[in-house]
Amino acid sequence: MKEFELKYGCNPNQKPAKIYMKDGSDLPIEILNGRPGYINFLDAFNSWQLVKEIKAALNMPAAASFKHVSPTSAAVGIKLSDKLKKACFVDDIEGLDESPLACAYARARGTDRMSSFGDFIALSDVCDKTTAMIIKREVSDGIIAPGYTDEALEILKSKRKGSYNIIKIDENYVPEETELKQVFGITFAQRRNNFKIDADLLNNIVTENKTLTEEAKRDLIIALITLKYTQSNSVCYAEDGQAIGVGAGQQSRIHCTRLAGNKADIWHLRQCDKVLNLPFKDSVGRPDRDNAIDQYISEEDNDELLENWEDFFTVKPEKLTLAEKKAYLASLHGVALASDAFFPFSDNIERARKSGVDYIAEPGGSVRDDIVIDCCNKYNIAMAFTGMRLFHH
């Protein structure tokens, strides 16, 4: 296939639209089902690069959930605890523990379920039946992967009344070194960002605490590669083999750190007993459960939710108080955090610590690096300077 005509571009008035190879060669994809759109392809190609790089760096199956050209999460194929299975709505999936790829997507989708509503999915490996079963019951726009088993393809083709977007990508495709982009009729050219992210990038530890556990290195690598494909400015929290909070596209670094931290906090709070044991009515669908959980966790909205509890629950649940949330979050440790550019002020470290951060990776290079390092030392946080900015626009 030399080119693929799109229904329209970013918006319905932006016609005509198509994807094609500048040199006239075949596209490195097959469209197995549906008719992906302009934004679908932007999500697909960015997310594929992300999972491919995580797989290469960690030698583990990886999955990503993308919305509007930024990841809501990315994860590797580590088995989920019973609590996490329940929080991610996959505790009833048969064979989950036997499919690392399914575990990776369950984590990626389950991290920020509200943002993942209508996501585009990327898988580093051939999609199997178990992964397809998870995807089948979620609201999603499409998927890109290097292949699909026959069973998985049949399951996915049944989504959205047969119109679900399914893309197969040539996993051996390597793009040209120079990439082009047009803005306002003006062409930009730059070398592709082929910067390799691996454990060697974490050797320059600038804090008094020099200890990075193997798990911390894994999580920092996941966070850094996630940031490489997140619209900047961006900050990413990671734990247990997955990105747990992504703050994308903010003009201020502290706003990135707060946004991502709030998402990480919600991910943690979804696993507390009061949330896991909310007595939902069987008639309440998964998206409505996500909205209700978000309201229940939120101090501002849970009073309104509890006043209208009969819409969601069989019995009125106990309130989750601010004191309970603070106590739960204060007990957290072992969270990793990465930033796509340097932290200009120590307020980012103060906010990160409130979400259990013990490990940080950032480029360094600020005139206030010493202040940021001092703040890390105050909390015994280990911080590595990577020396490389990861802006993505």
Chain position carrying tokens 């690069």: 49
- Residue 392 is among the residues annotated as catalytic for this protein: no
CA 346 – CA 32 distance, rounded (Å): 49
Q: 75: exposed, middle or buried (C-beta count within 10 Å: 0-12, 13-18, 19+)? A: buried
Q: Which residues contact 377 (CB under 8 A, 6 or more apart)?
A: 207, 208, 209
Q: Are 43 and 50 in contact (CB under 8 A)?
A: no
Determine which one of 40, 46, 233, 291 is catalytic.
233
Phi and psi angles of residue 251, each rounded to the nearest 5 degrees, phi first: -75, -25
**288-306 CB burial, b ≥16 within 10 A, e <16:** ebbbbbbbbbbeeebeebb
Q: Are 211 and 382 in contact (CB under 8 A)?
A: yes
CA 129 – CA 164 distance, rounded (Å): 16
Chain position carrying tokens 């966790």: 297
Closest CA to 100 of 67, 136, 65, 59: 59
- Residue 68 is among the residues annotated as catalytic for this protein: yes
Closest CA to 255 of 224, 238, 232, 229: 232
For the range 134-140, what are the long-range contacts, defined as Cβ-Cβ under 8 Å and sequence gap of 24 or more? 134/90, 134/93, 134/102, 134/105, 134/106, 134/109, 135/105, 135/159, 137/286, 138/109, 138/286, 139/287, 140/164
CA 157 – CA 150 distance, rounded (Å): 11
Determine which one of 52, 55, 67, 86 is catalytic.
67
Q: Are 71 and 65 in contact (CB under 8 A)?
A: yes
**192 dihedral zone (left: phi>0; alpha: psi -120 to 50; beta):** beta
For the range 8-17, what are the long-range contacts, defined as Cβ-Cβ under 8 Å and sequence gap of 24 or more? 8/37, 8/38, 9/38, 10/38, 10/39, 14/38
Q: Which two tokens stand for residue 241?
A: 């083999």
CA 263 – CA 240 distance, rounded (Å): 15
- Residue 233 is among the residues annotated as catalytic for this protein: yes
- Residue 210 is among the residues annotated as catalytic for this protein: no
Determine which one of 68, 83, 255, 354 is catalytic.
68
Please list the active-site residues. 67-68, 233, 393
